[in-house]
Amino acid sequence: MKHLMILGPLVLTLATVSLGPNVQPALGTATDTTDDAGGKLYTNARFGFSVRYPADWRLGNPLPDGIGVTLYPPTEQSLVALSGHMNVVSGTSQDGRQTLKEFADAHRRIITDLYDRKKVPVKWRKDQERSLAGFPARHLTFTYTDSKQGEVVEHHIFSLGRNEGRGIRVKVPLADEARLMSMITTMLETYQPGRDQNAVSPLIPKTEPSPAAPR
């Protein structure tokens, strides 16, 4: 069963899979690191990714179904959400699922439609191609004006394998963007995917080779 993943207050185009009523996915954990910087380490038990984050950031509650967590930097009205998801949406990849470009295009459409319904204009910056833990990734950025927070910018960075994907959502007041994104860049240097998200999905049975035709 497919459904949309809830990432913080925003509904995104990341698809997950229901594990059934009797299967409870493990939630991620946060542990103190022992490095000199005194940072902390978040590890997600369901998807295996991990990242070190500053000790003065607050760890929020796990996201639904154990897909990730939201971190709260000391910058007011900002958040950093980390998540994983399954790549189960049909697309044109060699495995019949979404390509990274298709995922990014759908992601942009969903966000634009969501804010259009709220009558909030969204301004998109040019997409960027980048790497996330060694995997090709897309970096989408858009700005809008919030009635309470003023000008806001969001950065959505995600990778997509044949089986799983990883995502980071950053929301910050526009005036604080440069300072927080500098910290995010440093933080993502510690990001580890946990396992090969291009591995064959355990949810999709392997196809047996056809027997050779008799001569």
Give me the mean pLDDT over the 63-85 stretch.
95
Q: Considering the entire predicted model, what is its pTM?
A: 0.78
Does residue 195 form part of some domain? Answer: no
Give me the mean pLDDT over the 185-206 stretch.
74
What is the spatial distance between Cα 174 and Cα 137, in angstroms, rounded to a whole number?
Answer: 23
The residues with which 152 forms a beta bridge, in sequence order, are 144, 173
The residues with which 70 forms a beta bridge, in sequence order, are 81
- pLDDT value at position 94? 83
Residue 10 has pLDDT above 50, yes or no: no
Residue 58 has pLDDT above 50, yes or no: yes
Tally the domains of the chain: 1
Mean pLDDT of the chain: 81
Residue 9 has pLDDT above 50, yes or no: no
Does residue 140 form part of some domain? Answer: yes
Percent of the chain with pLDDT over 90: 60
Does residue 52 form part of some domain? Answer: yes
The residues with which 146 forms a beta bridge, in sequence order, are 150
Does residue 168 form part of some domain? Answer: yes
Does residue 214 form part of some domain? Answer: no
Give me the mean pLDDT over the 66-91 stretch.
93
Give me the mean pLDDT over the 142-156 stretch.
94
Extract long-range pairs of 16-21: CB within 8 Å, 24+ residues apart: 16/65, 16/67, 16/85, 16/86, 17/86, 17/88, 17/203, 19/65
Residue 150 has pLDDT above 90, yes or no: yes
Domain that holds residue 178: 2-188
Instruction: Note the pLDDT tens digit of each residue in 107-128.
Output: 999 999 999 999 999 999 999 9
Does residue 200 form part of some domain? Answer: no
The region that residue 27 occupies, defined by phi over 0 for left and psi between -120 and 50 for alpha, beta otherwise, is beta
- Which one is predicted more confidently, 63 or 147? 63
Give me the mean pLDDT over the 127-144 stretch.
94
- pLDDT value at position 129? 96
> Can you point out the beta strands (E) in the chain?
2-7, 10-17, 29-32, 40-43, 50-53, 58-62, 68-72, 79-86, 123-124, 128-132, 135-146, 150-160, 164-173
How many degrees, rounded to 5, is the angle at CA 78 between CA 72 and CA 79?
45
Instruction: Note the pLDDT tens digit of each residue in 27-45.
Output: 445 444 545 556 899 999 9
Residue 10 is part of a domain; what is its CATH number?
A: 3.40.1000.10
Does residue 207 form part of some domain? Answer: no
Going by C-alpha positions, the residue among 6, 26, 4, 27 that lies closest to residue 15 is 4
Does residue 42 form part of some domain? Answer: yes
- pLDDT value at position 212? 57
Token pair belonging to 112? 């634009």
Q: Which of 40-44, 59-63, 90-94 has the lowest mean pLDDT?
A: 90-94
**What are the CA-CA distances from residue 120 to residues 103, 127, 149 (Å)?**
23, 21, 13
